Protein backbone atom coordinates (compact mmCIF):
# COMPACT_ATOMS: atom_id res chain seq x y z
CA UNK A 1 0.00 0.00 0.00
CA UNK A 2 1.40 3.42 -0.99
CA UNK A 3 1.25 6.70 0.93
CA UNK A 4 -1.84 7.53 -1.17
CA UNK A 5 -3.74 4.37 -0.29
CA UNK A 6 -3.11 2.83 -3.73
CA UNK A 7 -2.74 -0.94 -3.86
CA UNK A 8 -0.57 -2.54 -6.54
CA UNK A 9 -1.33 -6.25 -6.87
CA UNK A 10 0.80 -8.74 -8.81
CA UNK A 11 -1.99 -11.27 -9.26
CA UNK A 12 0.08 -14.23 -10.49
CA UNK A 13 2.48 -14.03 -7.58
CA UNK A 14 0.04 -13.08 -4.79
CA UNK A 15 -2.81 -15.42 -5.74
CA UNK A 16 -0.77 -18.21 -7.31
CA UNK A 17 -2.69 -17.64 -10.52
CA UNK A 18 -1.17 -18.79 -13.80
CA UNK A 19 -2.54 -18.71 -17.33
CA UNK A 20 -1.27 -22.05 -18.56
CA UNK A 21 -3.29 -22.31 -21.74
CA UNK A 22 -4.44 -19.97 -24.47
CA UNK A 23 -8.07 -20.28 -23.39
CA UNK A 24 -7.34 -18.85 -19.94
CA UNK A 25 -5.32 -16.03 -21.48
CA UNK A 26 -8.25 -15.30 -23.79
CA UNK A 27 -10.74 -15.21 -20.91
CA UNK A 28 -8.50 -12.86 -18.91
CA UNK A 29 -8.13 -10.40 -21.79
CA UNK A 30 -11.86 -10.35 -22.45
CA UNK A 31 -12.65 -9.88 -18.76
CA UNK A 32 -10.26 -6.92 -18.51
CA UNK A 33 -11.85 -5.29 -21.59
CA UNK A 34 -15.46 -6.13 -20.65
CA UNK A 35 -17.50 -3.05 -21.74
CA UNK A 36 -19.83 -3.40 -18.74
CA UNK A 37 -16.83 -2.57 -16.58
CA UNK A 38 -15.03 -0.10 -18.85
CA UNK A 39 -17.76 1.98 -20.50
CA UNK A 40 -19.96 2.99 -17.58
CA UNK A 41 -19.11 4.44 -14.19
CA UNK A 42 -21.84 2.98 -12.01
CA UNK A 43 -20.58 4.37 -8.69
CA UNK A 44 -20.04 8.09 -9.25
CA UNK A 45 -22.44 10.74 -10.50
CA UNK A 46 -21.40 10.97 -14.14
CA UNK A 47 -21.01 8.11 -16.59
CA UNK A 48 -17.90 7.53 -18.66
CA UNK A 49 -18.20 7.16 -22.40
CA UNK A 50 -14.56 6.95 -23.49
CA UNK A 51 -12.42 3.93 -24.24
CA UNK A 52 -10.02 4.17 -21.32
CA UNK A 53 -8.10 1.12 -22.42
CA UNK A 54 -5.41 0.23 -24.92
CA UNK A 55 -2.22 -1.64 -25.68
CA UNK A 56 1.48 -0.82 -25.93
CA UNK A 57 2.96 -1.47 -28.40
CA UNK A 58 0.23 -2.28 -30.91
CA UNK A 59 1.63 -3.76 -34.13
CA UNK A 60 -0.06 -4.64 -37.41
CA UNK A 61 -3.61 -3.44 -36.71
CA UNK A 62 -5.11 0.06 -36.85
CA UNK A 63 -4.71 2.12 -33.68
CA UNK A 64 -8.47 2.07 -33.07
CA UNK A 65 -8.36 -1.72 -32.80
CA UNK A 66 -6.19 -1.51 -29.67
CA UNK A 67 -9.52 -1.29 -27.81
CA UNK A 68 -10.55 -4.71 -29.14
CA UNK A 69 -9.62 -7.61 -26.81
CA UNK A 70 -9.80 -10.07 -29.71
CA UNK A 71 -7.10 -8.18 -31.61
CA UNK A 72 -4.94 -7.83 -28.50
CA UNK A 73 -5.19 -11.55 -27.79
CA UNK A 74 -4.32 -12.34 -31.42
CA UNK A 75 -1.31 -10.02 -31.22
CA UNK A 76 0.06 -11.72 -28.10
CA UNK A 77 -0.56 -15.19 -29.55
CA UNK A 78 1.26 -14.17 -32.74
CA UNK A 79 4.20 -13.02 -30.62
CA UNK A 80 4.22 -16.42 -28.87
CA UNK A 81 4.15 -18.24 -32.20
CA UNK A 82 7.09 -16.23 -33.51
CA UNK A 83 9.25 -15.93 -30.39
CA UNK A 84 8.42 -19.03 -28.28
CA UNK A 85 6.40 -21.50 -30.39
CA UNK A 86 6.92 -24.45 -28.02
CA UNK A 87 5.80 -22.68 -24.83
CA UNK A 88 2.36 -23.61 -23.50
CA UNK A 89 2.52 -22.51 -19.85
CA UNK A 90 2.55 -19.22 -17.93
CA UNK A 91 1.45 -17.19 -20.94
CA UNK A 92 0.50 -13.87 -19.29
CA UNK A 93 0.93 -11.67 -16.25
CA UNK A 94 -2.03 -9.99 -14.57
CA UNK A 95 -1.61 -6.77 -12.55
CA UNK A 96 -4.16 -4.58 -10.76
CA UNK A 97 -3.71 -1.03 -9.47
CA UNK A 98 -6.59 -0.06 -7.15
CA UNK A 99 -7.42 3.43 -5.79
CA UNK A 100 -9.29 4.48 -2.63
CA UNK A 101 -12.92 5.66 -3.00
CA UNK A 102 -12.05 9.24 -2.00
CA UNK A 103 -9.14 9.64 -4.42
CA UNK A 104 -11.01 12.26 -6.51
CA UNK A 105 -9.71 10.59 -9.66
CA UNK A 106 -11.78 10.30 -12.83
CA UNK A 107 -11.75 7.34 -15.19
CA UNK A 108 -10.07 9.59 -17.76
CA UNK A 109 -7.25 10.26 -15.26
CA UNK A 110 -6.70 6.55 -14.80
CA UNK A 111 -6.72 6.12 -18.57
CA UNK A 112 -3.63 8.35 -18.73
CA UNK A 113 -1.94 6.38 -15.94
CA UNK A 114 -2.87 3.07 -17.57
CA UNK A 115 -1.11 4.15 -20.74
CA UNK A 116 1.98 5.15 -18.75
CA UNK A 117 2.09 1.75 -17.06
CA UNK A 118 1.63 -0.11 -20.35
CA UNK A 119 4.53 1.88 -21.83
CA UNK A 120 6.63 0.98 -18.80
CA UNK A 121 6.16 -2.73 -19.49
CA UNK A 122 6.65 -2.33 -23.24
CA UNK A 123 9.96 -0.53 -22.59
CA UNK A 124 11.20 -3.88 -21.25
CA UNK A 125 9.98 -5.65 -24.38
CA UNK A 126 6.59 -6.96 -23.21
CA UNK A 127 3.26 -6.23 -24.88
CA UNK A 128 0.95 -4.75 -22.23
CA UNK A 129 -2.79 -4.08 -22.44
CA UNK A 130 -4.69 -2.03 -19.86
CA UNK A 131 -8.27 -1.06 -19.03
CA UNK A 132 -9.92 1.11 -16.38
CA UNK A 133 -12.75 -0.49 -14.40
CA UNK A 134 -15.20 1.99 -12.87
CA UNK A 135 -17.86 -0.43 -11.64
CA UNK A 136 -16.61 -0.38 -8.02
CA UNK A 137 -16.16 2.31 -5.39
CA UNK A 138 -12.45 1.60 -5.75
CA UNK A 139 -11.69 2.40 -9.38
CA UNK A 140 -8.84 0.29 -10.66
CA UNK A 141 -6.61 -0.44 -13.62
CA UNK A 142 -6.16 -3.98 -14.92
CA UNK A 143 -3.08 -4.86 -16.94
CA UNK A 144 -2.50 -7.96 -19.04
CA UNK A 145 1.20 -8.32 -19.83
CA UNK A 146 2.55 -10.82 -22.34
CA UNK A 147 4.90 -13.34 -20.76
CA UNK A 148 7.40 -13.34 -23.64
CA UNK A 149 9.46 -10.45 -24.95
CA UNK A 150 8.75 -9.26 -28.48
CA UNK A 151 12.42 -8.17 -28.64
CA UNK A 152 14.28 -11.38 -27.79
CA UNK A 153 11.70 -13.96 -26.73
CA UNK A 154 12.90 -14.06 -23.13
CA UNK A 155 10.38 -14.98 -20.46
CA UNK A 156 8.92 -12.13 -18.38
CA UNK A 157 11.35 -10.77 -15.82
CA UNK A 158 11.58 -7.18 -14.54
CA UNK A 159 13.79 -6.56 -11.50
CA UNK A 160 12.00 -4.71 -8.68
CA UNK A 161 8.84 -4.54 -10.77
CA UNK A 162 6.52 -3.84 -7.84
CA UNK A 163 8.68 -0.97 -6.55
CA UNK A 164 8.96 0.59 -9.99
CA UNK A 165 5.22 0.41 -10.66
CA UNK A 166 4.58 1.86 -7.19
CA UNK A 167 6.97 4.71 -7.98
CA UNK A 168 5.14 5.56 -11.23
CA UNK A 169 1.80 5.52 -9.42
CA UNK A 170 3.07 7.63 -6.50
CA UNK A 171 4.45 10.26 -8.86
CA UNK A 172 1.12 10.37 -10.68
CA UNK A 173 -0.79 10.72 -7.41
CA UNK A 174 1.54 13.47 -6.18
CA UNK A 175 0.79 15.51 -9.31
CA UNK A 176 -2.94 14.83 -8.88
CA UNK A 177 -2.91 15.95 -5.23
CA UNK A 178 -1.02 19.09 -6.19
CA UNK A 179 -3.64 19.97 -8.81
CA UNK A 180 -6.44 19.41 -6.29
CA UNK A 181 -4.80 21.95 -3.99
CA UNK A 182 -4.02 24.72 -6.44
CA UNK A 183 -6.43 24.34 -9.39
CA UNK A 184 -10.02 25.21 -8.40
CA UNK A 185 -11.55 24.07 -11.67
CA UNK A 186 -9.73 20.74 -11.56
CA UNK A 187 -10.93 20.15 -7.98
CA UNK A 188 -14.53 21.24 -8.52
CA UNK A 189 -14.94 19.08 -11.61
CA UNK A 190 -14.04 16.07 -9.49
CA UNK A 191 -16.16 17.14 -6.53
CA UNK A 192 -19.16 17.36 -8.84
CA UNK A 193 -18.54 13.82 -10.05
CA UNK A 194 -17.91 12.32 -6.61
CA UNK A 195 -20.49 14.17 -4.56
CA UNK A 196 -23.01 15.51 -7.07
CA UNK A 197 -24.60 18.92 -6.72
CA UNK A 198 -27.22 17.70 -4.24
CA UNK A 199 -27.02 13.90 -4.06
CA UNK A 200 -25.86 12.20 -0.88
CA UNK A 201 -24.24 8.79 -0.53
CA UNK A 202 -23.80 6.44 2.42
CA UNK A 203 -20.05 7.05 2.46
CA UNK A 204 -20.38 10.84 1.95
CA UNK A 205 -22.15 12.66 4.81
CA UNK A 206 -22.46 15.95 2.91
CA UNK A 207 -23.66 17.00 -0.52
CA UNK A 208 -21.36 18.23 -3.25
CA UNK A 209 -22.29 21.85 -2.63
CA UNK A 210 -21.61 21.48 1.09
CA UNK A 211 -18.33 19.68 0.48
CA UNK A 212 -17.10 22.42 -1.87
CA UNK A 213 -17.91 25.03 0.78
CA UNK A 214 -16.02 23.04 3.42
CA UNK A 215 -12.99 22.73 1.16
CA UNK A 216 -12.91 26.45 0.48
CA UNK A 217 -13.24 27.17 4.23
CA UNK A 218 -10.27 24.91 4.96
CA UNK A 219 -8.16 26.79 2.40
CA UNK A 220 -8.97 30.09 4.11
CA UNK A 221 -7.80 28.91 7.54
Domain 7-159 has CATH 3.40.720: no
Please determine, for residue 61, whether its predicted confidence score (pLDDT) is greater than 90: no
Confidence (pTM): 0.86
24, pLDDT greater than 70: yes
- Cβ-contact 144, 32 below 8 angstroms: yes
Calculate ∠ Cα 176-167-91, nearest 5°: 115
Q: Give the pLDDT score at 212.
A: 55
Q: Indicate the domain borders of the chain.
A: 7-159, 183-220
Q: Do the Cβ atoms of 130 and 169 come closer than 8 Å? A: no
Model pLDDT for residues 98-138, shown as the tens digit of each residue: 999 889 998 889 999 999 999 999 999 999 999 999 888 89
pLDDT of residue 218 exceeding 80: no
At 63 the pLDDT is 77
* CA–CA gap between residue 79 and residue 41 (Å, rounded): 33
Task: Tell whether the model's pLDDT for residue 21 goes beyond 80.
Answer: yes
More confident of the two residues 161 and 202: 161
pLDDT of residue 36: 87
Q: Which pLDDT score is estimated for 203?
A: 46
Amino acid sequence: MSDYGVYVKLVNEEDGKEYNEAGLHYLLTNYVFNPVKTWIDTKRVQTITGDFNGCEPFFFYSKYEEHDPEKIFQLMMLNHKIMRPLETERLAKHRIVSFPPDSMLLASDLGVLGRLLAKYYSSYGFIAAYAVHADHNNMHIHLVVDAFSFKDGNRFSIPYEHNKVQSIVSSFMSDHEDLLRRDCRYREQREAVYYGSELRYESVPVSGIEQMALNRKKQML
